[in-house]
Structure 1
Amino acid sequence: MFYTIIKNFFLKKIVTKKLLKENSFSSNEKINTIGLLVDETYFGEKEALIAAIEAKGFKKEAISVLIYKDKIKKKEAFDYPSVSLKNISISGEISNPEAVTFIETPFDLLINYYDVNKFSLLLISQKSKAKFKVGFTTIDKRVNHFIINSLVENYNEFTDELFKYLKILNKI
C-alpha cells in the first residue's frame, strides 16, 4: 500500500511535467483506426461500447482495445490486452509489451474511456502516439484534444455525441 502511494506520487510528477511541455497538435486526417483505453475497474461493459462504435460504421478490426485494471488477479483472464499499476515502474516506464505496442501505434483516434484521474492511465494516454484524443470532462484537459460531458455508464450517449462532433469536424 505504501509503495502504491509513493508510485502514484512519482507518476503524478512525471505526468504533470510532460503535460506542461505537451503540444496540443491534432491532425485533420480522416479517422480509420481507433484505440480504446478502458478503465475496467469502473466500467465493465466494454463489449457494448465496442458494439456502439461498430454501429457507427467502424469495423472491429479497426478498433484496438487496452484494458486497465487497478489489480489483476493471477488467474484472471481478459479478451483484450490488459495493463495494471504493477506493469508501470516508479519512473513511468511500462513493462507490459502489449501496452507498449498499444502506445506506439499511431491511431487516428484514441478514446480515453475513463473518468477518474489515475496517473497510470494519464501516463498511458499522454505517451500514446494517437493523432486525436477524446475523453471525459473530469480528466485533465491537457490530455485530450476533445472532451465530452457525459457519464461513463452512458456509453450510447458518449458515442452519439462523439460521432456527431467528429462529423462536424469532418473527421469521418
Structure 2
Amino acid sequence: MILKGFKEKSNKKHLNKLLSQRIMPVGNSRVESLGVILNSDELDDFELFRTLANLINVRPNKLKIIAFSANKKEQLSNWDACYNPKDFGWNGKIKNTELQTFLNTKFDALISYYANEDLELKLLTAKSEAQFKIGILQTDVRLNDLIINTSIKEFNVFKAEVHKYLTILNKIKNEQ
C-alpha cells in the first residue's frame, strides 16, 4: 500500500517533468494520421472515432485507437488494445511494448477522450509523440494543444468542434 503511493508520486513527478519540457509544434502539417486514447470505463464505442476520422479525412489504416481501463480485467471483449494500471511502472515507465509502440508513433494528431483524472491516462497523453494533441477540458491544461469544453457524452458536439477548429487551423482540407 505504501509502495503504491510512492509509485504514484514518482509518476506524477515524471508527468510534471514531461509537461514542463514540452515544446509546442509550429507548422502547417495536415492531419493524415490520428491516434486516440480513451477511457473504456467512460466510453465503449470505437465507431464514434472511425466516423470522426472519416470526417477529417484520415484513412482507416492511419487510425489507431487504444483504450485504458482502471479495472484490472484482462478480458474486455470489444477492445483490441486495452491497457490497465499493471502496464505502468515507476517514473512513468511503460511495461507493455505495444503501448510503447503506440506512444512512439508520430501521429499528426492525438485525441485524448476522457474526463476522469486518471494519472495513467495523463501519462499516455504526455508521453505520446503526436504533433498536435486534442482533448476534453482537464484540470491540467498543459496536456493538450486544442481543448474542447464538452461533456464526455456529447460526442457529436466534440466531433463538430474538432472539425471546425482543424479547418480553421488549416490542418484539414474542407472538402464540401
**TM-score, structure 1 length as denominator?**
0.90
TM-aligned CA deviation for residue 70 of structure 1: 0.8
Partner of 2:12: 12
Distance 1:73 1:171, change over 3 A: same
TM-aligned CA deviation for residue 33 of structure 1: 0.3
Deviates most, 7-16 or 80-89: 7-16
Cα root mean square deviation, aligned: 1.8
Partner of 1:42: 42
Partner of 2:119: 119
C-alpha deviations, 1:46-96, integer Å up to 9, x for none?
323323432443322121011111123233344321221110002211011
C-alpha deviations, 1:27-54, integer Å up to 9, x for none?
3200100001111121122323323432
Contact 1:136 1:147 in 2 (8 A): yes
Paired amino acid for 2:131: K
- Equivalent-residue separation in structure 2 for 1:23 and 1:55 (angstroms): 28
Paired amino acid for 1:158: F
Task: Provide runs of 4+ in structure 1 moved above 6 Å.
Answer: none
How many correspondences in the alignment? 172
Distance 1:7 1:41, change over 3 A: farther
How do 1:1-172 residues align onto structure 2 when only pairs under 5 Å count?
3-172=3-172
**TM-score, structure 2 length as denominator?**
0.88
- Equivalent-residue separation in structure 2 for 1:99 and 1:144 (angstroms): 19
